[in-house]
Amino acid sequence: MAKVLYLLNYVGNGGTEKYVLDLIHSSRPEDCVFIYSEAGPGLEDFKQAKIKMYHVPMQGPFDLKAAKQIKAIIQSEQIDVVHANFLRENYLAILAKLMGAQCRVIWTYHVNVSMGPMIRRLNKVMTAFNHKVITVSQYMYDQLHQKGVSTNKLQLIHNGVAGPREQHHLNSLRDVPIITTVGRLREEKGQAFLIKSLARLRQSHPNLNWNCHLYGDGPDRDQLLALVEGLQLENFVQLKGFCTNKETLYLDSDIVVVPSSNEAFSYVTVEALSYGRVVVGTNIGGIPEIIQHGHSGLLVEYGNEEQLANTLYQLLTDTSLVQRLSKDGRECFQQHFTIEKMIEKTKALYEH
């Protein structure tokens, strides 16, 4: 059994932290070590995992002091694999390896970020020393190849989630259907796009009953509240804040919308499918790899408010479509996106 060191610069409470914790929880505590640089709201979850933790300030991807500290920890803990989760951490792990640390370095590319010509050239050099570079979607695979990483190093492993064992197929929508979106309140998550589309829906079909719940916190909260008020949707759209009870959130929903403008791979989409919810997602990033239009959900173009409004109207008025998408979406999850599949494929890289 390989002993793995997980590297994370900032410990938030987003998808990357969930990914690392899923891998840790699937292992024995003594087989995992965690290094972080900046404490955030997710640090307590790592402490509860009861693994050995180190605090190492990481000032940048070429922080030689940090690389030396990481090398010393690799040696003292007899680490077999270092699993980095952003470019900074990957470069530091590679530097530690070049300094003499005997380990394999794996990097998972979670978030699609712009990289200039210099970083692309550096990627070509630095990732030559990676054992593998995991991409969470084919979209991200293609993006990293364009950014200097050889296909010999790239390995596609879709993220997976631990969905409910029992099935929760929708036989019909509730009397006042709940449209839900989940995500940090910031521009790229597309809440404003959804709200504007709902205003169109309300204008076109004023007698149609529905409510929309926006879950999450973030810098755009006040701006989104002002938008809701400006469009006179106060009685229809509620900002619910951060929700820790995932099961309640999804079971209290009928339709889940993922209106993002940038999404490498959407945990929310997969989670919603696992609970048999009907999903509407934007046709960007890794979302079309999860949502096969008309089969496991419905896709719309980001920013096309009329299309999203019409799609929601279709779902709110077509029970047979809701039933079919709910059933087929759950089957798609079970076939492709379980946490067991993700962990099995990732740990195979640890051993070989």
The amino acid sitting at 303 is G
Summarize pLDDT for 213-267 with one digit per residue, the tens: 999 999 999 999 999 999 999 999 999 998 889 899 999 999 999 999 988 888 8
pLDDT mean over 117-146: 95
| More confident site: 113 or 90 | 90
Res. 13 pLDDT band, cuts 50 70 90? confident
Pairing of strands 52-55, 81-84: unpaired
User: Contacts from 16-19 at CB under 8 Å and sequence distance 24+?
Assistant: 16/85, 16/86, 16/110, 16/111, 17/42, 17/45, 17/46, 18/267, 19/85, 19/108, 19/110, 19/159
Does 27 have pLDDT greater than 90?
Answer: yes
> Chain-wide mean pLDDT for the chain?
95
Does 269 have pLDDT greater than 90?
Answer: yes
Q: What are phi and psi of 59, to 5 degrees?
A: -80, -15
Burial class (CB in 10 A: 0-12, 13-18, 19+), 93: buried
- The pTM for the full model equals 0.84
Summarize pLDDT for 30-70 with one digit per residue, the tens: 999 999 999 999 999 999 999 999 999 999 999 999 999 99
Cα–Cα dist 225/279, whole Å: 24
pLDDT mean over 2-27: 94
In the chain the domains, ranked by start, together with CATH numbers, are: 4-160+338-351 (3.40.50.2000), 178-336 (3.40.50.2000)
Cα–Cα dist 142/149, whole Å: 10
DSSP 77: T
Summarize pLDDT for 147-204 with one digit per residue, the tens: 999 999 999 999 998 899 899 999 999 999 999 999 999 999 999 999 999 999 999 9
Mention every residue, 6+ apart, whose C-beta is less than 8 A from residue 161. Answer: 267, 270, 271, 274, 337, 338, 339
pLDDT at position 332, please? 96
Res. 105 pLDDT band, cuts 50 70 90? very high
pLDDT at position 28, please? 95
DSSP H helical segments within the chain, as ranges? 15-25, 43-48, 64-76, 87-98, 117-126, 138-146, 191-204, 221-230, 246-251, 267-274, 287-290, 305-317, 319-336, 339-351
Res. 135 pLDDT band, cuts 50 70 90? very high
pLDDT at position 1, please? 84
Res. 317 pLDDT band, cuts 50 70 90? very high
Percent of the chain with pLDDT over 90: 91
Residues paired with 135 in a beta bridge: 109, 156
| More confident site: 89 or 267 | 89
Res. 303 pLDDT band, cuts 50 70 90? very high
Query: Is 98 within 8 Å of 68 (Cβ atoms)?
Result: no
